[in-house]
């Protein structure tokens, strides 16, 4: 997204400015449309209600986590521990739910826990000046090791029905889709129109300039990580309630999928630009690719190689664009 | 920072290692036996080989997250070349080593030719190389290697595990290159100030290219040792290896911002981690539970380093 960081040259129509500002988002959207048309032509069952529902609902928790991740990356940092955090949140929520705690407690406590953990990470990054990659690498293994030690990998089953928010539907559409759309829209408006949202771009774009303009980069970074914890918490609840069991392990490579969604959605890895609309579209694109591989009868074991190529291609394109602009 | 100050970090670390060994020896009478210690050395070799290259990478101010994936990909290719393609095993080993080295070269090219930050470049190739391992293997494992191949991972020479000799040799070589050669001085110069290094005529891109390629080669070598030790190839081999390696290097006093660090420090850091892992396991902490402790050690080590840096007015 360059709508905020750059101003389009005068003389272009409003429509072209809009498209130009959302270049990467448009590319991702186009890719989704092309996939739907192409795979649907080969195998019409790809376009069935059930499959479309599962494409949009299946990766909703990734899209929600990617909202927070996008904020973190825009602010110039990264978090490789989000997958472990989501695993811990899911187990915590499930344990509370089966222990007989009120449903709202089983939802709220893990989210508050996630906010607290990530605010701590943010404080280490902002005030102690430890690179976020190091803090979150350490946090990844603390959360993962702690989870395995605490649960011994025991599965959680028989959760109360009222707790299973991901399986609730309204007008036939899974609740996670509503949450994904609403949270994306809210976060997009928040990042664009509030002082704090603009501060995230300023800190990620040019730290010293942001400081000179009177912003506190430290407070902004702690705030960004706290928000990231909030979204990771919600993502963890949806992840926990998707299936009838919680495996009490860390979903493998989830952090990578979330980071990839942000980057392919147009969040520049160097900080300063990007929108959460892009990361949500990219999450949907992943679900499309995953589903398309199945419907085209290609082994799902190739999925990660495809994602790796996508992220590499996007990053190289981003670098080339920057070089041209410079 | 003076040379004496960094010697102090390693002296302190050596003291910590000694204390840890003594405490662990008291906690379990099985810990301080020659058998156990040599076996721990065996387990440490794969991480150790990769950590040597990672020390160079981090001293330049870079990072390589893809080492575990290169290890996994090389292991799978070794199996494929030997079992599916039907090459003689020695040829398959050389071919797999070449592929792992090429993977490292790929990282280096992405970083130097396109200016992609190492963190992001290797995050992408972490996914790509692991994806290739999964795609090529289709989650099938290869076993049934000939007996002679297991010497590398399970054999002994003069009572010491073969891979420990290999690690010792590689460590001495890496220490010499980093401390005593123009290449080593270029590595430090790039990490201290890349622009200044460029202007003073150091071949920054070539140096980095060599270092990332070496990281690929050593990850591939670690893969061969790994396969020989566990007698099978699986696509998830080496998952999370990057964490162990980076923790060892950073614990050893190499600055994550680049410019300082020694191979001796890395070696001490690795010994400390392996001793902690082993000690905790003997004390009854189960399997993956020990990685939590490593995370705490990593953050604590950097935190303490950051606090000391502030005191020095840095």
Cβ-Cβ contacts under 8 Å between A and B: the total is: 147
Q: Distance between CA atoms of B227 and B206, rounded to whole angstroms?
A: 32
- Contact (CB<8Å) B116/A302: no
Give yes or no for a contact between B261 and B251, defined as CB atoms under 8 angstroms apart. no
User: Over 50: is that where the pLDDT of B311 sits?
Assistant: no
Q: Let me know if A213 is exposed, middle or buried by CB neighbors in 10 A (0-12, 13-18, 19+).
A: exposed
Mean pLDDT of B117-144: 88
Interface mutation vs chain A, best among B64, B70, B295, most A CBs within 10 Å: B295
Min Cα separation A84/chain B (Å): 11
CA-nearest residue to B246 within chain A is A134
pLDDT value for B4:
59
- Contact (CB<8Å) A140/B124: no
SS3 B142: strand
> How many Cβ atoms sit within 10 Å of the Cβ of residue B24?
18
Give yes or no for a contact between A121 and A127, defined as CB atoms under 8 angstroms apart. no
- Contact (CB<8Å) A270/B116: no
- Contact (CB<8Å) A134/B287: no
Q: Distance between CA atoms of B109 and B125, rounded to whole angstroms?
A: 12
Helix (H) or strand (E) holding B284: none
The model's pLDDT over B240-283, given as tens digits with 9 standing for 90+, comes to 888 889 889 988 888 888 888 999 999 999 998 888 888 878 77
Mean pLDDT of B137-162: 84
CA-nearest residue to A149 within chain B is B289
CA-nearest residue to A129 within chain B is B306
The model's pLDDT over A93-116, given as tens digits with 9 standing for 90+, comes to 888 877 877 878 778 889 999 999
From the list A85, A64, A9, the residue with the least C-alpha distance to A187 is: A64
Residues shown for chain A: 326
Taking the complete model, does pTM exceed 0.90, yes or no?
Answer: no
- Contact (CB<8Å) A304/B134: yes
Q: Which residues of chain A lie closer than 8 angstroms to B280, CB-CB?
A: none
pLDDT value for B312:
44
Q: Which residues of chain A lie closer than 8 angstroms to B137, CB-CB?
A: 301
Q: Which residues of chain A lie closer than 8 angstroms to B250, CB-CB?
A: 134
**Percent share of chain A, pLDDT over 70:** 90
Q: Distance between CA atoms of A224 and B261, rounded to whole angstroms?
A: 32
* B301 in contact with chain A, both atoms CB, cutoff 8 A: no
Give yes or no for a contact between A62 and A242, defined as CB atoms under 8 angstroms apart. no
Q: Distance between CA atoms of A114 and B256, rounded to whole angstroms?
A: 27
Q: Distance between CA atoms of B259 and B181, rounded to whole angstroms?
A: 16
Of B131, B295, B296, the CB nearest to A308: B131
Of B165-174, B257-266, B286-295, give the range with the top mean pLDDT. B165-174
What is the secondary structure of A175-225 as a DSSP string? HHHHHHHHHHHHHHHHHHHSHHHHHHHHHHH-HHHHHHTT--HHHHHHHHH
Give yes or no for a contact between B274 and B44, defined as CB atoms under 8 angstroms apart. yes
Residues shown for chain B: 314
pLDDT value for B2:
55
Token pair, residue A5, equals 């960081």
Of B114, B119, B288, the CB nearest to A145: B288
Min Cα separation A12/chain B (Å): 31
Min Cα separation B291/chain A (Å): 5
SS3 A253: coil
Residue B290: pLDDT band by 50, 70, 90 thresholds? confident
The model's pLDDT over A126-141, given as tens digits with 9 standing for 90+, comes to 888 888 888 888 888 8
Mean pLDDT of A149-173: 74
Q: Which residues of chain A lie closer than 8 angstroms to B116, CB-CB?
A: 269, 315-316, 319
Burial B215-224 (b: 16+ CB within 10 A, else e): bbbbbbbbbb
Instruction: Give the B window 130-159 contacts with A, CB below 8 Å.
Output: 130-132, 134-135, 137-139
- Contact (CB<8Å) B288/A309: no
Min Cα separation B101/chain A (Å): 19
User: Over 90: is that where the pLDDT of B72 sits?
Assistant: yes
Instruction: Give the B window 262-291 contacts with A, CB below 8 Å.
Output: 285-291
Min Cα separation B258/chain A (Å): 12
Instruction: Give the B window 97-126 contacts with A, CB below 8 Å.
Output: 110, 114-117, 119-121, 123-126
Q: Distance between CA atoms of A296 and A298, rounded to whole angstroms?
A: 6
């Amino acid at each position: 997204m360059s709508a905020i960081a750059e101003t389009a040259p005068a003389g272009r129509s409003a429509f072209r400015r809009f498209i130009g500002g959302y270049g990467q988002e448009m590319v991702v959207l186009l890719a989704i449309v092309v996939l739907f048309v192409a795979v649907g032509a080969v195998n019409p069952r790809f376009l069935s209600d059930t499959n479309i529902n599962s494409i949009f609902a299946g990766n909703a928790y990734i899209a929600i986590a990617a909202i927070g991740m996008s904020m973190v990356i825009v602010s110039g940092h990264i978090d490789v521990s989000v997958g472990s955090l989501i695993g811990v949140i899911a187990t915590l929520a499930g344990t509370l739910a089966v222990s007989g705690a009120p449903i709202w407690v089983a939802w709220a406590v893990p989210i508050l826990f996630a906010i607290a953990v990530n605010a701590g990470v943010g404080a280490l990054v902002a005030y102690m000046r430890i690179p976020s990659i190091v803090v979150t690498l350490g946090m990844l293994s603390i959360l993962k090791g702690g989870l395995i030690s605490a649960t011994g990998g025991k599965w959680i089953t028989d959760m109360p029905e009222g707790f299973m928010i991901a399986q609730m539907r309204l007008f036939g559409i899974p609740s996670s889709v509503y949450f994904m759309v609403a949270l994306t829209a809210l976060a997009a408006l928040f990042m664009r129109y509030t002082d704090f949202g603009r501060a995230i771009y300023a800190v990620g774009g040019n730290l010293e300039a942001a400081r000179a303009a009177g912003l506190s980069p430290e407070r902004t970074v702690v705030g960004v990580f706290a928000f990231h914890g909030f979204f990771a918490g919600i993502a963890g609840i949806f992840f926990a309630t998707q299936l009838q069991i919680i495996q009490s392990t860390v979903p493998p490579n989830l952090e990578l999928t979330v980071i990839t969604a942000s980057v392919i959605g147009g969040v520049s890895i160097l900080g300063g630009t990007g929108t959460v609309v892009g990361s949500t579209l990219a999450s949907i694109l992943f679900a499309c690719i995953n589903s398309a591989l199945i419907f085209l009868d290609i082994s799902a074991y190739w999925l990660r190689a495809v994602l790796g190529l996508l992220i590499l291609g996007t990053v190289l394109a981003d670098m080339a664009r920057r070089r041209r602009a410079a | 920072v003076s040379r004496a100050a960094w010697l102090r970090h390693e002296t302190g670390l050596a003291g910590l290692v000694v204390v840890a060994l003594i405490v662990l020896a008291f906690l379990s009478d099985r810990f301080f036996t020659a058998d156990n210690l040599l076996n721990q050395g065996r387990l440490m070799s794969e991480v150790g080989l990769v950590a040597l290259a990672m020390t160079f990478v981090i001293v330049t101010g870079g990072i390589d997250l893809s080492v575990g994936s290169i290890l996994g990909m090389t292991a799978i290719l070794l199996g494929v070349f030997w079992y599916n393609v039907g090459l003689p095993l020695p040829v398959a080993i050389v071919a797999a080593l070449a592929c792992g080295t090429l993977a490292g070269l790929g990282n280096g090219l992405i970083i130097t030719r396109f200016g992609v930050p190492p963190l992001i470049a290797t995050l992408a190739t972490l996914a790509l190389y692991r994806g290739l391992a999964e795609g090529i293997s289709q989650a099938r494992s290869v076993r049934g290697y000939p007996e002679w191949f297991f010497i590398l991972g399970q054999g002994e020479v003069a009572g010491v595990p073969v891979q420990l000799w290999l690690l010792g040799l590689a460590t001495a070589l890496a220490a010499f290159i980093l401390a005593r050669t123009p290449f080593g001085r270029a590595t430090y110069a790039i990490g201290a100030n890349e622009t200044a290094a460029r202007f003073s005529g150091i071949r920054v891109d070539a140096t980095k290219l060599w270092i990332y390629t070496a990281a690929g080669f050593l990850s591939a070598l670690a893969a061969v040792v790994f396969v020989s030790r566990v007698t099978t190839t699986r696509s998830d081999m080496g998952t999370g290896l990057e964490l162990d390696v980076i923790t060892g290097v950073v614990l050893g006093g190499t600055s994550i911002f680049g410019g300082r660090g020694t191979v001796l420090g890395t070696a001490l850091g690795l010994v400390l981690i392996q001793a902690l892992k082993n000690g905790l396991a003997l004390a009854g902490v189960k399997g993956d539970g020990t990685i939590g402790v490593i995370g705490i050690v990593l953050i604590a080590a950097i935190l303490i380093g950051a606090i000391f840096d502030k005191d020095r007015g840095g």
